Amino acid sequence: MSWFVYMIEASDNSYYTGITTDLDRRFNQHANGTGAKYFRGRKPLKIIYVEHHLDRSSASVREALIKKKSHLQKQQLAGSQMHIDGLKS
């Protein structure tokens, strides 16, 4: 099973980092209020960063490392991937 580490930009310009096996389902859960408590009082705007991992353990380790980064470091991480993957127009 594939796991993904993802970052979502929230309506207050903050970033939420999580892991999942299904990005669309998880984003919809956050948007519908059935996901993380983090999105009570703020709305998820878009997924800004995604990494693929082969197992939950490696995804969880990477999630923890990303969560320790500053807002600016997270922004730079997301920006570098968007540039490389051509997601940014």
* 4-30 pLDDT tens trace: 999 999 999 999 999 999 999 999 999
pTM of the model: 0.88
Residue numbers of the domain that contains 69 = 3-85
Q: Under 8 Å CB-to-CB from 15, ≥6 apart: which residues?
A: 7, 8, 9, 48, 71, 74, 75, 78
Q: What is the tally of structural domains in the chain?
A: 1
Mean pLDDT (the chain) is 90
SS3 33: coil
Q: Specify the CATH number for the domain of residue 70.
A: 3.40.1440.10
